[in-house]
Amino acid sequence: MENKVILITGGAGFIGSHVVRRFVNRYSNYKIVNLDKLTYAGNLENLKDVEDKTNYIFEKGDITDLEFINQLFEKYQFYGVIHLAAESHVDRSISNPLEFVLTNVVGTVNLLNAAKTIWKGNFENKIFYHVSTDEVYGELGDDGKFLETTPYDPNSPYSASKASSDHFVRAYHHTFKLPVKISNCSNNYGSHHFPEKLIPLMINNILQNKALPVYGKGENVRDWLFVEDHARAIDVIFHQGKVGETYNIGGNNEWKNIDLVKFLCQLMDKKLNRQEGDSEKLISYVTDRAGHDFRYAIDASKLTNNLGWEPSVTFEQGLEKTVDWYLANQDWLEHVTSGAYKNYYQNMYSNR
Ligand code: NAD
Ligand code: DAU
């Protein structure tokens, strides 16, 4: 695989920046084109360490802009696509569902069409890899895990838009034989995570001695995976996964929100030399998220058994690395929380 040009969409975001970094550093024989609109969630500061590499190119653009996307495919003649660009926050999807339809559904179909057009039916060795979420499967009760065969049952506008995009990807494979791969991953955590999501929001608020807003009773359960393990899974599936297949990716690491927040408080107290119990006093139970899915849990045994992938760090190790990164990069936090973030926070949390 020499000198192949790969398009990574959403590479300036949280997971995308880890995928770009991994591919740029590991595969000097690839040219990595990062296409990102730089919404509030996209930040080129996330990629400072690779921006000068000769196998990396940044293109600012919008996946909903059909003409731009077609021109980009024409210009670079991509060999592969790894599609991560999306609106990704469930709470924002409740406030503004249409934005999610445009980016997640229309944007994905634009990319599928551009790949189909440029590859002109010559699909040998081509790959269109769509990165998706476990939320498409809906919610679980106390038992069971999501399998690749679990029927889709999305509950939020975000998960409905991701489910729709997954269906389009599969339809392009079935109808046009486009060589697609899909993965559905559980909750990620790690460095460069925008502080609208649970873990970075709590880290930021603990640092600032601000209330820690736990939705409902804090009993909802999520399955947390270190973001670098997700990036490695994407690498493995991109290179070794079977065309037309779906792979679930998860951390085998379920936490009730309230237990996770308390665990994080204890860790931060130690790191900040605070009295044990100081940060926990900031916990504040607030109005629940509308339609809040109770539990997600992934069965990733297909990926482990077929491609040999497994998480590489425990939650304790991954969370400590994450907290250390935020403590060492408080200027990053300040940059992303100045300006528009203040209005977002006020609107999302003042009436809870
Ligand atoms: P993110 O919100 O941090 O980043 C999204 C990126 O997409 C940003 O850089 C943004 O600028 C870009 N983008 C948004 N709209 C765009 C548009 N119209 N055109 C071009 N670029 C645009 O998201 P993330 O958490 O890194 O998630 C990345 C992908 O992984 C998403 O598809 C998401 O559904 C999926 N996913 C996320 C998680 C998670 O826990 N964060 C878990 C499973 C799957
Ligand atoms: O499961 C994968 C999904 O995980 C991804 O597809 C999404 O892009 C990603 O945002 C994430 O969705 P969640 O809704 O699970 O993540 P979030 O961090 O928003 O919330 C995690 C849990 O914490 C959830 O039960 C809601 C709760 N929560 C969240 C916030 C932001 C709180 O209790 N308080 C908060 O302030």
Residue pair 221/46 in contact (Cβ under 8 Å)? The answer is: no
Please tell me the predicted confidence (pLDDT) of residue 121. 87
Question: How many other CB atoms are found less than 10 A from the CB of residue 340?
Answer: 10
Going from the Cα of 284 to the center of ligand 2, the distance in angstroms, rounded, reads: 17
- Closest atom of ligand 2 to 133 CA is 6
- Ligand 2 pocket: which of 137, 198, 352 to mutate (most atoms <8 Å of CB)? 198
- Residue 28: inside a domain, yes or no? yes
**Which numbered ligand comes closest to the C-alpha of 134?**
2
- Residue 203: inside a domain, yes or no? no
Active site residue 40: no
Give me the amino acid identity at 239. H
For 247-283, how does the pLDDT look when each residue is reduced to its tens digit (9 = 90+)?
999 999 999 999 999 999 999 999 999 999 999 999 9
Going from the Cα of 68 to the center of ligand 1, the distance in angstroms, rounded, reads: 19
**CA–CA distances in Å: residue 9 to residues 107, 156, 298:** 10, 23, 25
Please tell me the predicted confidence (pLDDT) of residue 35. 98
- Residue 326: inside a domain, yes or no? no
Going from the Cα of 117 to the center of ligand 2, the distance in angstroms, rounded, reads: 36
How much is the average pLDDT of 190-198? 98
Please tell me the predicted confidence (pLDDT) of residue 1. 45
- Residue 239: inside a domain, yes or no? yes
Asked if residue 345 has pLDDT above 70, the reply is yes
- Residue 287: inside a domain, yes or no? no
Active site residue 79: no
Q: Global pTM?
A: 0.98
Please tell me the predicted confidence (pLDDT) of residue 352. 84
- Residue 51: inside a domain, yes or no? yes
DSSP codes, 211-256: -EEEETTS--EEEEEEHHHHHHHHHHHHHHSPTT-EEEE--S-EEE
CATH assignment at residue 140:
3.40.50.720
Q: Which domain covers residue 137, as residue numbers? A: 5-189+226-249
- How far is the C-alpha of 251 from the C-alpha of 223, rounded, in Å? 6
Residue pair 297/155 in contact (Cβ under 8 Å)? The answer is: no
- How far is the C-alpha of 103 from the C-alpha of 309, rounded, in Å? 30
Going from the Cα of 100 to the center of ligand 1, the distance in angstroms, rounded, reads: 11
- Residue 196: inside a domain, yes or no? no
- Residue 270: inside a domain, yes or no? no
Ligand 1 binding residues, C-beta < 6 A: 9-10, 12-16, 36-39, 41-42, 62-64, 84-88, 103, 107, 131, 133, 162, 185, 187-188, 194
Nearest CA among 315, 324, 345, 160 for reference residue 252: 315
Q: Tokens representing 88?
A: 């990704």
Domain count across the chain: 1
* C-alpha 146, offset from chain centre: 18
Burial class of residue 331 in the structure, from the number of CB atoms within 10 Å of its CB (0-12 exposed, 13-18 middle, 19+ buried): exposed
- How far is the C-alpha of 22 from the C-alpha of 29, rounded, in Å? 13
Please tell me the predicted confidence (pLDDT) of residue 320. 98
For 211-234, how does the pLDDT look when each residue is reduced to its tens digit (9 = 90+)?
999 999 999 999 999 999 999 999
Active site residue 52: no
Helix then strand then coil, % of the chain, to nearest 5: 45, 20, 35
**CA–CA distances in Å: residue 259 to residues 190, 217, 220, 256, 265:** 18, 11, 10, 5, 10
Containing H/E element for 272? none
